[in-house]
Amino acid sequence: MAKYSKVLRRPVSITGGNAQTSRFSLRFRRCARVVDTSMDAPAISTENLTRRFGGLLAVDRINLRVTPGQFFGFLGPNGAGKSTTIKMLTGLLAPSSGRIEILGRDLVADPVDVKRQIGVVPEGMALFGRLTGAEYLNFVGRMYGLDRATAAQRTSELLEFMQLADQPKALVTDYSHGMQKKLALAAAVIHGPRILFLDEPFEGVDALASGTLKAMLQRMIARGATIFLTSHVLEIVERLCSHVAIIHRGQLVAQGSLEELRAGVQAQTAVAAGNGASSQLPAAAPGEKLTLEEIFLRIVGGSRIADQELSWLG
């Protein structure tokens, strides 16, 4: 019987029916799976990932590639398809078509194995409001298979780090929005995930909490984790992320390092200016470094709302 080995990238023959051979091949395949995920597989890879809602094509055949260890920003205007994509990448929403591989494993074929290795703060956070912060973190830790002592230890360390330890009796439902965000992030990292997915982690968070979140994310990156976050706060993405992708009306319109995007946009602007094409956006001066906001506006093709006039506002 010929089987395909992802490690060897060619068919391997698993022959014979005796028990010894079967035990060997089972061990080989288990071992092969471990090797496969830790080698050079991308952290996240999608192939023509698509999601429809009735007649609406919310995500349209996107091919994402995120390398392990990258701090990756997924940007796009409101309604572009960011949350839909992150839900599909974390197994919270089924794709209409296309493939997703996380750390070299097919998400549909291996959902539990994949979910063990990732953490997610989805759009609505999905916390349990009737528990205290400590109860919630302990619960999540135990669900990820941590033993009682480890779950308790990490819970108290995380509550301390996130400055959530002051009101041990408060229920999650009574937490402020920013406190809930910090708790959701603590829950997403309690099992030490290799990839962290965050949907708008800084939205509704004050400067102090935002500093705490950033410190935690940078610490994770320093330890080799991969982070995939969506945000519309471009200054934060510019400061934190090494790589970005831009989605617009469901389609991926750019992907690469910040430097690659900047160089691409600058070259395109120069060509357009050379052809006498007019742009709503001023051309970059030679040597001027475009900000991520300028890159974003040029790629997505918008003009600042502030520049538009609402005559009735007076």
Residues engaged in binding ligand ADP (CB under 6 A):
53, 56, 58, 76, 78-84
CA distance 201 to 184: 9
The partner residues of 3 in beta bridges, in order of sequence, read 12
Quote the least distance from Cβ 199 to Mg ion, whole Å: 6
Backbone angles phi, psi at 13, to 5 degrees: -95, 120
Told to check if 231 binds Mg ion by CB under 5 A, we report no
The CB-of-82 to ligand ADP minimum distance in angstroms stands at 3
Q: Residue 172 or 196: which CB sits closer to ligand ADP?
A: 196
Helix (H) or strand (E) holding 181: helix 177-189
CB of 83 to ligand ADP, least distance (A): 3
Q: Is 83 in the site for Mg ion (CB under 5 A)?
A: yes
The distance of closest approach from Cβ of residue 169 to ligand ADP in the complex, given in angstroms and rounded to an integer, is 35
Q: How far is the CB of 121 from Mg ion (least distance, A)?
A: 12
CA distance 154 to 165: 13
Q: What is the DSSP letter of 298?
A: H
- 25 binding Mg ion? (CB under 5 A): no
* Residue placing its CB nearer to ligand ADP in the complex, 48 or 167: 48
- Residue 86 contacts residue 120 (beta carbons within 8 Å): yes
Q: Of the candidates 147, 157, 158, 222, which has an alpha carbon nearest to the alpha carbon of residue 185?
A: 158
Measured from the CB atom, the residue of 122 and 133 that comes closer to Mg ion is 122
Nearest by Cα to 80 from 218, 248, 235, 229:
248
> Which of 82/105 has CB closer to Mg ion?
82
Binding-site size for Mg ion (CB under 5 A) equals 2
Q: Tell me which of Mg ion, ligand ADP, none is bound by residue 15, counting a contact when its beta carbon lies within the kind-specific cut-off of 5 to 8 angstroms.
A: none
User: 207: buried, middle or exposed (CB in 10 Å: 19+, 13-18, 0-12)?
Assistant: exposed
218-226 long-range Cβ contacts below 8 angstroms, 24+ apart:
220/189, 220/196, 221/69, 221/71, 224/68, 224/69, 225/69, 225/193, 225/194, 225/195, 225/196, 226/43, 226/44, 226/66, 226/67, 226/68, 226/69, 226/70, 226/71, 226/72, 226/194, 226/195, 226/196
Identify which of 75, 78, 71, 109 has the alpha carbon closest to the alpha carbon of residue 91: 109
Which residue, 37 or 83, has its beta carbon nearer to ligand ADP?
83
Binding to Mg ion (CB under 5 A): which residues in 53-82? 82
From ligand ADP, Mg ion, none, interface partner of 58 (C-beta below 5 to 8 A by class): ligand ADP
Q: In angstroms, what is the minimal distance from the CB of 90 to Mg ion?
A: 14
The pair of three-digit structure tokens given for residue 187, joined into one six-digit string: 């829950």
Looking at the Cβ atoms of 59 and 158, the one nearer to ligand ADP is 59
Residue 193 binding target from Mg ion, ligand ADP, none, CB below 5 to 8 Å by type: none
Judged by beta carbon, residue 100 or residue 284, the one nearer ligand ADP is 100
CB of 82 or CB of 243, closer to Mg ion: 82
Q: How far apart are CA 120 and CA 293, in angstroms?
A: 26
The least CB distance from residue 126 to ligand ADP, in Å, is 15
Min dist CB 294 to ligand ADP, Å, is 20
Residue with smallest beta-carbon separation from Mg ion:
83
- Non-local (6+) Cβ contacts of 306 within 8 A are none
Residue 76 binds what, of Mg ion, ligand ADP, none (CB under 5 to 8 Å, by partner type)? ligand ADP
Site residues (vs Mg ion, CB under 5 A): 82-83
